[in-house]
């Protein structure tokens, strides 16, 4: 019987609902993620001088919140999560007990977004700081600490470390007025 079902491409009803549920959850998270990244970058770049953008750390960005944005977006989040939780309810009604799913909570989803977007926001702030503080001839990060020289000296640096060091050098040049 199982071979006949597999050959005909049939699946239990809960498997079909599972695909729909996964798609809805991913879509909801992608929309919130994109919206938060745009809002956070907009707020941080407009409320801080370009010369200070490089001073933000991942911890600062993860802790950054915009209550106004949250309030404006709250109704969308609640409606979207209501639809997602409706699919969870439908899925749990037909799925075996062992694979049932928990409901999604707005605050938990928001914290997930804040945590997961921080790196991307930080990278964009670094990019914008670099664009506003350097001329095109200074755009190469090879000003005394390239990946090759640090690798040869025995230090293990990540790309993020190189970018941070480079941005720090640019900031110190700006402070010195060179």
What's the number of domains the chain is made of? 2
Instruction: Retrieve residue 34's tokens.
Output: 């994109």
What gap in Å lies between CA 176 and CA 118, rounded to an integer? Answer: 30
Same domain flag for 96 and 163? no
User: Is 167:126 a contact under the CB 8 Å cutoff?
Assistant: yes
Query: What is the per-residue DSSP string for 115-155?
Result: HHHHHHHHHHHHHHHHHHH--GGG--S-SS--HHHHHHTT-
**Which pTM was predicted?**
0.67
Same domain flag for 95 and 15? yes
- DSSP H or E segment with residue 46: helix 13-47
139, part of any domain = yes
Least confident of 4-18, 95-109, 163-177: 163-177
pLDDT in tens, 13-58: 888 899 999 999 999 999 999 999 999 999 999 988 888 888 889 9
pLDDT in tens, 126-170: 888 888 765 444 444 444 443 333 333 444 445 556 566 666 766
Same domain flag for 58 and 142? no
Instruction: Tell me what pLDDT residue 173 has.
Output: 63
Same domain flag for 61 and 22? yes
Same domain flag for 106 and 139? no
83, part of any domain = yes
* Residue 12: band (very low, low, confident or very high) from pLDDT cuts 50, 70, 90: confident
Q: Provide the domain limits for residue 51.
A: 2-120
Same domain flag for 109 and 21? yes
Instruction: Tell me what pLDDT residue 36 has.
Output: 96
């Amino acid at each position: 019987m199982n071979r006949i079902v597999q050959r005909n491409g049939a699946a239990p009803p809960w498997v079909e609902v599972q695909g729909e549920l996964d798609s809805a959850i991913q879509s909801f998270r992608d929309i919130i993620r994109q919206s938060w990244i745009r809002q956070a970058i907009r707020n941080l770049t407009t409320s801080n001088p370009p010369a200070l953008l490089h001073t933000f750390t991942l911890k600062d960005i993860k802790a950054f919140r915009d209550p106004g944005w949250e309030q404006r977006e709250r109704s969308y989040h609640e409606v979207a999560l209501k639809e997602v939780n409706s699919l969870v309810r439908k899925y749990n009604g037909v799925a075996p007990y062992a694979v049932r799913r928990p409901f999604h909570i707005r605050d938990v989803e928001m914290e997930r977004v804040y945590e997961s977007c921080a790196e991307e926001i930080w990278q964009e702030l670094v990019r914008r700081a670099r664009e506003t503080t350097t001329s095109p001839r200074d755009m190469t990060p090879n000003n005394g600490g390239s990946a090759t020289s640090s690798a040869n000296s025995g230090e293990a640096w990540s790309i993020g470390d190189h970018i941070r060091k480079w941005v720090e050098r640019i900031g110190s040049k700006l402070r010195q007025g060179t």
